[in-house]
């Protein structure tokens, strides 16, 4: 029997994990994750389609009980699943300032990412002593493994910009980047992200751009692995609809449609990362679902504003990190003077013990934040303080229900 709780509505939604399966001729296939069902119910399976889409699909119903009690995910797995992956990663958060020209924004993104990758190596190797062997000096260079872009990086943030800047992303899973370029493209932002991921051999969390599908607009994050393969697509699940007196009024729902799936990107070298966009970070059950599925981190492109940002931006990141003993990385747009929407900025990375890992503080300015992730820290923290084993939510809810009956 499905447990009733305040979070049940989220966990009735599909959770999407895109898996990597090698195919002939260098093509890739994405298969849906197994279904999650309530404990003691009959498991269901879905037949795989011969021609599937890179777009996320529902994988069935998850009950709140199965997610909180990990009926489909063991405590041992949550601390050991990442042992087959690389043990460390350098992440770069590229804080961009957007203009009213999509072409300029794409050119700026490509230039800033290129700069971020070259600066990381040169800055880390500049301190190498001249009498050290060349091989040793080369080994000391820190190469960026993961790049994160901001929310709505290819356009100004505003309802009036989403439709004109939106892209119809048509995915041909059997084609290469070169073949796509040869045919021409109606998705220049998508193509630019995929190309740079492949050429620079980095995992790219592509911030977000407005996309159009079936007449609806979405706030969409594409994730590409280091070979340029699209491994996840996330539509912002919780739209930014607020009316704060003497603060800010904004309703994304006037133009955008909410996504309906929790998204996990399974990278070939570093393991699983949950993907959310901005307002998604306010919902702890979203990150919790990703943690129970074995994610070692959450990536949130986000454009908090100058009203909520100073109080909530860093606080929410640390909460999600400590609650789930995982890395949390956020990438904000830079603040643009005179823009109708003023971004808070302050792109940041937090570790699984709540520690800030930034190499610098950008505040609202354009630039790049680097952080070195020791992925063993997730296992270390989850083993030292095994919150997943100690969680007693089902007992608590049952107790509350009994008390209510006696009132």
The 3-state DSSP class for residue 149 equals coil
H-type helices in 226-368, by residue range? Answer: 284-292, 314-324
Q: Give how far Cα 191 sits from Cα of 74, 157, 234, 300, Å.
A: 39, 21, 17, 21
> For this structure, is 151 an active site residue?
yes
Q: Token digits for 305? A: 């504003």
Other beta carbons within 10 angstroms of residue 362's beta carbon come to: 18
> For this structure, is 198 an active site residue?
no
Region at 25 (left for phi over 0; alpha for psi -120 to 50; beta for the rest) = left
Rounded to an integer, what distance in angstroms lies between the CA atom of residue 14 and that of residue 289? 11
* Residue where the block lists tokens 């993104």: 109
Residue 300 contacts residue 54 (beta carbons within 8 Å): no
Catalytic residue among 102, 198, 236, 272: 236
> For this structure, is 236 an active site residue?
yes
Catalytic residue among 5, 155, 221, 278: 278
Catalytic residue among 151, 252, 293, 377: 151
DSSP structure string for 67-135: HHTTTTS-HHHHHHGGGGS-SEEEEEEEE----S-HHHHHHHHHHHHHHHHHHHHHHHHTT--TTS-HH
Enzyme catalytic residues: 151, 236, 278
């Amino acid at each position: 029997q499905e447990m009733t709780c305040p979070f049940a509505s989220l966990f009735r939604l599909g959770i999407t994990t895109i898996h990597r399966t090698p195919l002939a001729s260098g093509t890739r296939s994405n298969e849906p994750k197994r279904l999650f069902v309530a404990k003691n119910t009959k498991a269901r399976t879905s037949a795989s389609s011969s021609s599937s889409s890179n777009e996320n699909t529902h994988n069935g119903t998850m009950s709140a009980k199965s997610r909180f009690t990990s009926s489909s995910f063991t405590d041992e797995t949550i601390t050991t699943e990442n042992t087959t992956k690389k043990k460390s990663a350098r992440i770069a958060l590229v804080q961009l300032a957007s203009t009213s020209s999509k072409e300029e924004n794409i050119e700026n993104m490509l230039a800033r990412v290129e700069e971020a990758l070259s600066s990381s190596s040169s800055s880390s190797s500049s301190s190498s002593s001249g009498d050290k062997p060349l091989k040793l000096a080369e080994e000391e260079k820190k190469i960026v493994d993961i790049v994160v872009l901001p929310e709505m990086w290819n356009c100004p943030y505003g309802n009036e910009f989403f439709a004109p800047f939106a892209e119809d992303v048509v995915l041909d899973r059997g084609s290469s980047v070169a073949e796509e370029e040869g045919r021409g493209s109606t998705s220049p932002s998508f193509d630019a992200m995929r190309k740079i991921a492949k050429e620079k051999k980095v995992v790219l969390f592509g911030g977000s751009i407005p996309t159009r599908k079936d007449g609806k607009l979405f706030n969409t994050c594409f994730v590409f692995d280091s070979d340029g393969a699209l491994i996840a697509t996330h539509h912002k699940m919780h739209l930014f609809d607020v009316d704060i007196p003497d603060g800010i009024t904004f309703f994304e729902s006037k133009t955008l449609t909410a996504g309906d799936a929790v998204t996990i990107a399974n990278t070939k070298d570093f393991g699983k990362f949950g993907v959310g966009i901005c307002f998604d970070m306010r919902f702890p059950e979203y990150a919790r679902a990703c943690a129970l599925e074995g994610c070692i981190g959450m990536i949130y492109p986000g454009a908090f504003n100058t009203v909520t940002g100073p109080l909530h931006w860093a606080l929410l990141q640390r909460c999600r990190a400590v609650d789930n003993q995982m890395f949390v990385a956020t990438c904000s747009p830079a603040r643009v003077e005179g823009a109708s929407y003023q971004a808070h900025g302050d792109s940041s990375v937090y570790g699984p013990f709540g520690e800030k890992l930034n190499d610098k503080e950008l505040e609202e300015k354009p630039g790049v934040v680097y952080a070195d992730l020791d992925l063993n820290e997730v296992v270390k923290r989850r083993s030292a303080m095994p919150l997943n084993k100690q969680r007693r939510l089902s007992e608590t809810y049952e107790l509350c229900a009994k008390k209510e009956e006696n009132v």
